[in-house]
C-alpha cells in the first residue's frame, strides 16, 4: 500500500456538480427483503430524471450478479458486500451522480460503516418500514418460503435479525402509504440538498 500514490486529476466532483447543475450524494434505502426498497428507488429515479438530475441505482441483487458474485451470505461476506457497495456509491457521487442504493443492510453497524465510507453529509437514510408479515405475504422472489423450509440459511427476518434504524432521515411505511406519494415525499426532502451552494 505504501507504493500507491493518488493522481490529482484536473476535474473533480465540484466541477461535475457545476456541469450537472446539482449536487451529488447517496440515498440509501434499507429494509427487509420485499419491503419495496427497489420499487421505491425506481420510482424516485424517474422523478429525478424528469427533473434532469443525473442518477444511478445500485441494487443488492444486481451487485451480487457481477462485482460481488463470489460473495456468499455469511455475516462477514454480507458486510463485505455492503463495503464494496459503499465504495462504488462514493465513486459515483464523485462522478456527479445522485446514487439510489437499495440494500437490506440489516445491522446498525453495517449502516454506520456505509455512512462512514460515503461521508455523513452525503448520506441520506431511507427506512422502508414494512412488517415481516407483509414482506412474507408478498414474497415476490419466493425467498421467505425457502427460508422457512430451511433451504436458505442466515435470511434476514427469519434466522438473522434486522435492526430498525433509530433516526433515519425519512421513514416510509408501505403498508399505510402509497408508494407514489412516498417517492414524492423523498423528492421533496432532497430538493434543498440538490441545490448548488
d(CA 27, CA 127): 10
Write the pLDDT tens digit of every residue in 142-195: 888 888 888 888 889 898 899 999 999 999 999 999 999 999 999 999 999 999
Write down the pLDDT at residue 188.
96
The catalytically annotated residue of 38, 95, 105, 131 is: 105
Write down the pLDDT at residue 14.
92
d(CA 162, CA 165): 9
105 is catalytic: yes
d(CA 122, CA 193): 9
**Per-residue pLDDT band at 8 (split at 50, 70, 90):** confident
**Residue 61: strand, helix, or coil:** helix
Cell of 37: 426498497
d(CA 57, CA 103): 11
CB 97 within 8 A of CB 55: yes
Q: How many residues does the chain have?
A: 197
**Residue 26: strand, helix, or coil:** strand
Averaged pLDDT score across all residues of the chain:
91
Write the pLDDT tens digit of every residue in 74-83: 778 888 889 9
Write the pLDDT tens digit of every residue in 10-45: 678 899 999 999 999 999 999 999 999 999 999 999
Q: Does residue 57 surpass a pLDDT of 90? A: yes
Write down the pLDDT at residue 60.
77
Amino acid at each position: 500500500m505504501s507504493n500507491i500514490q493518488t493522481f490529482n486529476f484536473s476535474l473533480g466532483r465540484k466541477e461535475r456538480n457545476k456541469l450537472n447543475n446539482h449536487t451529488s450524494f447517496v440515498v440509501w434505502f434499507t429494509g427487509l427483503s420485499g419491503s419495496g426498497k427497489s420499487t421505491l428507488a425506481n420510482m424516485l429515479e424517474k422523478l429525478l430524471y424528469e427533473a434532469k438530475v443525473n442518477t444511478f441505482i445500485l441494487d443488492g441483487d444486481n451487485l451480487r450478479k457481477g462485482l460481488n458474485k463470489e460473495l456468499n451470505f455469511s455475516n462477514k461476506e454480507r458486510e463485505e458486500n455492503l463495503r464494496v457497495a459503499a465504495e462504488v456509491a462514493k465513486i459515483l457521487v464523485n462522478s456527479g451522480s445522485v446514487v439510489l442504493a437499495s440494500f437490506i443492510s440489516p445491522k446498525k453497524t453495517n449502516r454506520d460503516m456505509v455512512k462512514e465510507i460515503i461521508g455523513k453529509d452525503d448520506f441520506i437514510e431511507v427506512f422502508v418500514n414494512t412488517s415481516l408479515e407483509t414482506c412474507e405475504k408478498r414474497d415476490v422472489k419466493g425467498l421467505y418460503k425457502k427460508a422457512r423450509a430451511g433451504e436458505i440459511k442466515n435470511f434476514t427476518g427469519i434466522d438473522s435479525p434486522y435492526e430498525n434504524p433509530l433516526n433515519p432521515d425519512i421513514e416510509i411505511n408501505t403498508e399505510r402509504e402509497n408508494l407514489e406519494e412516498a417517492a414524492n415525499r423523498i423528492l421533496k426532502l432532497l430538493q434543498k440538498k440538490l441545490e448548488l451552494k
